[in-house]
Amino acid sequence: MAKSRGFEVQVKVNGQPVEVDAGSDGFKLFTEKTIVAMRVGGELRDLAHKLQDGDQIEGVSIGSPDGLNILRHSAAHVLAQAVQNINPEAKLGIGPPVTDGFYYDFDVDQPFTPEDLRALEKQMQKIIQSGQRFVRRVTNDGDARVELASEPYKLELIGLKGSDVGDGAAEVGAGELTIYDNIDPATGNTIWKDLCRGPHLPNTRMIGQAFALTRVAAAYWRGNEKNKQLQRIYGTAWPSKDELRAHQERLEEAAKRDHRRLGAELDLFSFPEEIGSGLAVFHPKGGTMRRVMEDYSRKRHEESGYEFVYSPHITKSHLFEASGHLQWYADGMFPPMRLDEEIDEQGVVRKQGQDYYLKPMNCPFHILIFKSQSRSYRDLPLRLFEFGSVYRYEKSGTLHGLTRVRGMTQDDAHLFVTPETMESELTNVLNFVLGLLRDYGLDDFYLELSTKEAGNPKFVGDDSIWQSATATLEKVALQSGLELVPDPGGAAFYGPKISVQARDAIGRTWQMSTIQLDFNLPQRFDLEYTAPDGTRQRPIMIHRALFGSVERFFGVLTEHYAGHFPAWLAPVQVVGIPVADEFAPYLDEIATQLRAKGVRITVDHSDDRMQKKILNHTKAKVPFMLIAGGQDRDSNAISFRFLDGTQQNGIPVAGAIERILKAIDSKAQV
């Protein structure tokens, strides 16, 4: 370390005062290899950044969220360099870190193939091992335009700057324009460079071996459908091979839970090609589960003051003109069926036809039920509930198993309330929703408040109405004590909403219930009730889906439980396995007793060996296996085998029945 010549600067490192020579950089302060960057006065900087007197400094460890982003961002640069090594004609898009990894977009003539990824990984290895230094260089618009003349997308970013860039924020920050040079440590030559805000790892070598390119995809430049599609390469990078392996194992665990796979394995549902994309059929086992889910929901709704209504799947166009759906969301609806039109020989319409639409939402129907009679304030809150089948023409590329379909069943309720009761009703609804979700086994929530985006014509209705509605929702959400995350611009076109986000067993979050306030439809349909003073008043509508859609909720629960459902939901709750045929009648008799109590039980009469039966029913994830042989029959007992492989032998039949009923009743996962 060079001795100071006459003056030193004082900085604070993690709050502790430290004196260093003038002109020192972060490498002087942090000798541990795990520190890859630093925060200076809160700003992320390269370790090569020169320290100033009075700087408040913290080291950024590679394993921290900031450190991981820097690692992945640097890996993205190396990927881009590798691509241009192999194909110098490739034009660079953007290359930011994302959750668990990074991507880089390229404009290339030939899309990348999976084989290209292997070659690119090798090329990246070479770059990483060559130990190139990432060196930050401040430039200006004019110079950068000259340097990057052959990179049209970078030029566009230079023109945009700061806050306008969206995803390009990793390239050009709000402050000065910078380029990172990749310097060959042996020669000092610049091997490659990229417009970038940084910071970066000091050296490519620090990326190490724990990275992988994972997939290729297309992505619109700057996320806009109207722009050219670039070819995107996704990768992942971690501080160590163990962490990379752990990440890959998490992906494998998620794949094992994939409801599309489990749906086929457990014979729950399928998507026959003959029906059409995004349209599911539920098989007997899935159907049983659905019925149980729905029945329980019905029971709880009934207890909570909801009334049950039914409405048809199709309607004449007028209803959706009145509701505004055809004006705003016709693209998301199936095209109309034109009925009753009569045309003469000359092709002239003799009788005007009628357009019928499949319904994408239930609300207009429930509104008509409200309007079927004069309403008094005594009728309110009126809570109308329906498992309503709706159809939405989702773009083919967005369909995904049961979680994104074209035909689904909403557990939909519309509540008509007075302004005075709106707040208490919203509170009730939120508590009801959370309580019911807990019964189905989800208990880790946060809330999202979706509000309108100023100036977007998609949102209909008065600003002042939006403001008061939003304020009320926020108040109710905060009272719940749950974490509340803002979602600006995420509102429905007719009003703001609270959505309940649930974390599943492996920490993924799913949007579940939504509670939406609507001041718009009551107005469009001219809804009224008579107030205590005899005046006519407009009710407020609350839209509320609890599962969201039954199909989607079914998929989420399947993934949450990995197919190992709690006994009350399991399609087959108990299976009897005789040690030999002669014990089957003994089990049949126990099965009769259990069936009388409403338990879903089968006795396996197949001529498989007992061991094979255990295998089969374990794979089918039946919560209780009841095994019976001579010892059990002699003592009027049975033996339990559970899915984790444990067993309890010689349990008296009466106790066993009680054990099973208790598990079902308590909604426990056995």
Residue 103 or 445 with smaller CB distance to RNA: 103
Task: Please list the alpha-helical segments (H only) found in 161-283.
Answer: 241-257, 259-265
Q: From residue 428 to residue 467, what is the string marking binding to RNA with x (rule CB under 7 A)? A: ------------------------------x---------
Q: Scanning the structure block, which residue is given the tokens 């349990």?
A: 651
Q: Which of 131, 173, 332, 353: binder of RNA (CB under 7 A)?
A: 332
Residue 84: active-site member? no
Which phi and psi angles does 404 have, rounded to 5°?
-145, 105
Residue 497: active-site member? yes
Binding residues for RNA restricted to 597-626, rule: CB under 7 A: 606-612, 614-615, 618-619, 625
- 639-646 contacts at long range (C-beta below 8 A, 24 or more positions apart): 641/577, 641/614, 642/670, 643/564, 643/618, 643/670
Residue 264 or 484 with smaller CB distance to RNA: 264
Query: Stretches 186-194, 195-203, 552-560, 646-654: which one binds RNA (CB under 7 A)?
Result: 646-654
Helix (H), strand (E) at residue 451: strand 445-451
Could you give the CA distance from residue 179 to residue 198 in angstroms, rounded to a whole number?
9
For helices 550-561 and 241-257, the axis angle rounded to 10 degrees is 130
The reply to whether 492 sits near RNA by the rule CB under 7 A is yes
Q: Which of 27, 329, 377, 446: binder of RNA (CB under 7 A)?
A: 329
Could you give the CA distance from residue 367 to residue 372 in angstroms, rounded to a whole number?
9
Residue 155 or 217 with smaller CB distance to RNA: 217
Q: Are 354 and 317 within 8 A, CB to CB? A: yes
Task: Please list the alpha-helical segments (H only) found in 272-405.
Answer: 284-303, 317-323, 325-328, 363-370
Helix (H, G, I), strand (E, B) or coil at 2: coil
Residue 414: active-site member? yes
Binding residues for RNA restricted to 256-315, rule: CB under 7 A: 260, 264, 271, 273, 276-278
The reply to whether 369 sits near RNA by the rule CB under 7 A is no
Could you give the CA distance from residue 195 to residue 163 in angstroms, rounded to a whole number?
16
Choosing from 193, 259, 325, 363, the catalytic residue is: 363
Choosing from 45, 73, 392, 600, the catalytic residue is: 392
- 140-159: b or e for each residue (b if 16 or more CB lie within 10 Å)? eeeebeeebeebebbbebbe
Q: From residue 561 to residue 600, what is the string marking binding to RNA with x (rule CB under 7 A)? A: ------------------xxxx------------------
Residue 113 or 509 with smaller CB distance to RNA: 113
Residue 354: active-site member? no
Residue 198 or 578 with smaller CB distance to RNA: 578
The reply to whether 526 sits near RNA by the rule CB under 7 A is no
Q: How many residues bind RNA (CB under 7 A)?
A: 75
Q: Are 558 and 268 within 8 A, CB to CB? A: yes
Residue 410: active-site member? yes
Binding residues for RNA restricted to 77-116, rule: CB under 7 A: 111, 113-114
Q: Which residue type, as a one-letter code, is found at position 523?
A: Q
Q: From residue 203 to residue 242, what is the string marking binding to RNA with x (rule CB under 7 A)? A: ------------xxxxxx--xxx---x-xx----------
Residues designated as active site = 363, 392, 410, 412, 414, 497, 543
